[in-house]
Amino acid sequence: MSDPRPGLKPLARTRLYEQVAQQIMEWVRENGLTTGDRLLPERELATRLGVSRATVSQALVALEVIGVVAVRHGDGAVLTDASGAAKVLEALRAHAKRLPDIIDARDALETKIAALAATRRTDDDLAAIDGALDVMEADIDAGGRGVAGDEQFHAAITEAAHSSLLEKMMQQISELILETRIESLSQPGRPRDSLAAHRRIADAVRLGDPELAAAAMHHHVAQVSDVAILRD
Amino acid sequence: MSDPRPGLKPLARTRLYEQVAQQIMEWVRENGLTTGDRLLPERELATRLGVSRATVSQALVALEVIGVVAVRHGDGAVLTDASGAAKVLEALRAHAKRLPDIIDARDALETKIAALAATRRTDDDLAAIDGALDVMEADIDAGGRGVAGDEQFHAAITEAAHSSLLEKMMQQISELILETRIESLSQPGRPRDSLAAHRRIADAVRLGDPELAAAAMHHHVAQVSDVAILRD
DNA sequence: CAGACCTATTGGCTAGGCCACTAGTCCAGA
DNA sequence: TCTGGACTAGTGGCCTAGCCAATAGGTCTG
């Protein structure tokens, strides 16, 4: 592993683990490995590539972060679907044009999130939720539409559900949701109704009643969607 | 290094480097470091965090791959995107792929999907669903576990919901499900029971009763998840 | 003052080792 | 027969110790 030409190469700075990772992927491609197939053991990769095991390990970390492989203690490194989260997200956006779809997805996620929040919320979570409601109310009192507080509220509820996966999925569709949310709140008289609906959700979460929370959230989403659909 | 949610357990296996990366980014945020600032030397990080330098190096590789730091030989590791600090934590957390989270998400999506399928299914959809049940039953009669039919069934239900967004999200989830091998674990040695549960869902969809369908699906997911957790 | 030359500091990588986990095998007991 | 436990081989996880290479910043010299 010696640099062939020490003379002129200012930017050739590649880490060894990058080359190793590249070679591994090349090997995978050449041998036509697919999802679920197991890579060679670290020790063998190390000897075959003429590097130390630590470097191979770094390469696997890189591949793992990228999402190409999953390294399993005591078992080995297996290939996972090469279509990373980025591609999924893109596909998501491409398919997400229809508003009703967005509403369906939002209902699915937020209803469950509300139920989970009711059972898992900590006191801190509750404080955050109440804080969001205060922000929303203050804004509405001042003549605003409470958009910021609305967003903050849903973020707080999501946080209180303590489920990273659901949180991630909510983020994926959050921008899409924002549009419908703004439209809804721009209807006269809506902000007050919306605030009340949020209060009902918050109360259910406070009580720790998952079914009530889910029902309240479902009602809220349906209410908001009404307007969006009418205007569609 | 405390898990925020103790009650639920086992799959929390995180690599040390992930924790190290999280702590580094946390430290960055606490000290208000921004783009261009230099991190502590690897050796010092190692001693401060009580891990080996190799592990710190792995963490830096991960952060480098994500794109938040650039490691410069002889100089140090500098932040390239301080704004990404929050995202990193979340990405790493998401990478932990905890089983309970996946179950939560699956429940959220499939319940809604079942309800939608009940209201939107066409006759063709229904035929596909019944076909999947037939496949499952035949397989079980032949001594199999009906895995293929099971997959087919859920795909048919998802199809019947006619929501491309939810479908995409389910695809995302199913990848995770496969990775954590829930599928294999979730075969409760009693394929007949599983078949019966599927029948109940199909019947509710046939009747066009969204609430019943949702309830049946929820029960099914809960049943499957129970087994997975118990057997772990 | 400008340039060459040290030198401390830092990352890059290796070597070797021990431990923990996984899966398969085999054997004893119900 | 079948279940469950012990054993074993193979694997990744992480550590210790060390040397090499690059960088930055000082100091020395002309």
Is B51 within 8 Å of chain A by CB?
no
> Residue B183: is its pLDDT beyond 80?
no
pLDDT at A18: 82
Nearest to B121 by CA among B212, B217, B209: B209
Evaluate whether A157 touches A129 at the Cβ level (below 8 Å): yes
Which residues of chain B does A54 touch, with a Cβ-Cβ cutoff of 8 Å? 54, 57
> What percentage of chain B has pLDDT greater than the value 70?
69
Q: What angle do CA A151, A157, A162 make, to 5 degrees?
A: 130
pLDDT at B81: 66
> Residue B14: is its pLDDT beyond 50?
yes
> Residue B179: is its pLDDT beyond 50?
no
Evaluate whether A162 touches B101 at the Cβ level (below 8 Å): no
Measure A11 CA to C4 C1' (Å): 24
Residue corresponding to tokens 């590249």? A22
pLDDT at B225: 58
Query: The domain at B99-230 falls in which architecture?
Result: Up-down Bundle (1.20)
Interface with chain B: mutation pick from A87, A120, A165, A167, highest number of B CBs within 10 Å: A165
Q: Higher confidence at residue A84 or residue A174?
A: A174
Nucleotides of D under 7 A from a protein CB: 10-18, 21-24
> Residue B115: is its pLDDT beyond 90?
yes
Cβ within 8 Å, pair B165-A88: no
> Residue B154: is its pLDDT beyond 80?
yes
C-alpha span between B123 and B112 (Å, rounded): 20
Q: Higher confidence at residue B19 or residue B205?
A: B205
The CATH number for A16-79, chosen from 3.40.50.300, 2.120.10.30, 3.30.70.1890, 1.10.10.10, is 1.10.10.10
> Residue B124: is its pLDDT beyond 90?
yes
Q: Binning pLDDT at 50, 70 and 90, where does residue A221 land? A: confident
Segment B150-170 mean pLDDT: 85
pLDDT at B86: 53
What are the sequence ranges of the domains in chain B? Answer: 16-95, 99-230
B 159-218 near A (Cβ less than 8 A): 161, 163-169, 171-172, 175-176, 179
> Residue B128: is its pLDDT beyond 50?
yes
Lowest mean pLDDT among A158-162, B59-63, B171-175: B171-175
Lowest mean pLDDT among A56-70, A73-87, A166-180: A73-87
Nearest CB neighbour to A81, from listed B109, B166, B175: B175
For strand C, which residues in window 56-75 of chain B come within 7 Å by CB? 57, 60, 71-75
Task: Please state whether strand C lies within 7 Å of residue A72 at its CB atom.
Answer: yes
C-alpha span between A196 and A199 (Å, rounded): 5
Q: Higher confidence at residue B181 or residue A109?
A: A109
> Residue A110: is its pLDDT beyond 70?
yes
C-alpha span between B102 and B105 (Å, rounded): 5
For strand C, which residues in window 11-30 of chain A come within 7 Å by CB? 15-17
C-alpha span between A155 and A197 (Å, rounded): 16
- Give long-range contacts, CB 8 A cutoff, 24+ apart: B62-71: B62/A61, B62/A62, B62/A65, B62/B17, B62/B18, B62/B21, B62/B92, B63/B21, B63/B24, B63/B25, B63/B88, B65/A61, B65/A62, B65/A65, B65/A66, B66/A65, B66/B91, B68/B25, B69/B39, B71/A15
pLDDT in tens, A130-184: 999 999 888 888 877 777 788 889 999 999 998 877 887 887 777 566 555 555 5
- As a CATH number, domain B16-95 is 1.10.10.10
The pair of structure tokens assigned to B201 is 């869902």
**Three-class SS of chain B:** CCCCCCCCCCCCCCCHHHHHHHHHHHHHHHCCCCCCCECCCHHHHHHHHCCCHHHHHHHHHHHHHHCCEEEECCCEEEECCHHHHHHHHHHHHHHCCCHHHHHHHHHHHHHHHHHHHHHHCCHHHHHHHHHHHHHHHHHHHCCCCCHHHHHHHHHHHHHHHCCHHHHHHHHHHHHHHHHCCHHHHCCCCCHHHHHHHHHHHHHHHHHCCHHHHHHHHHHHHHHHHHHHHHCC
The CATH number for A87-230, chosen from 3.90.1150.10, 3.90.420.10, 1.20.120.530, 3.40.50.1980, is 1.20.120.530
Please, what is the average pLDDT of chain A?
77
B 116-145 near A (Cβ less than 8 A): 116
Segment A71-91 mean pLDDT: 62
CB pairs under 8 A between A and B: 115
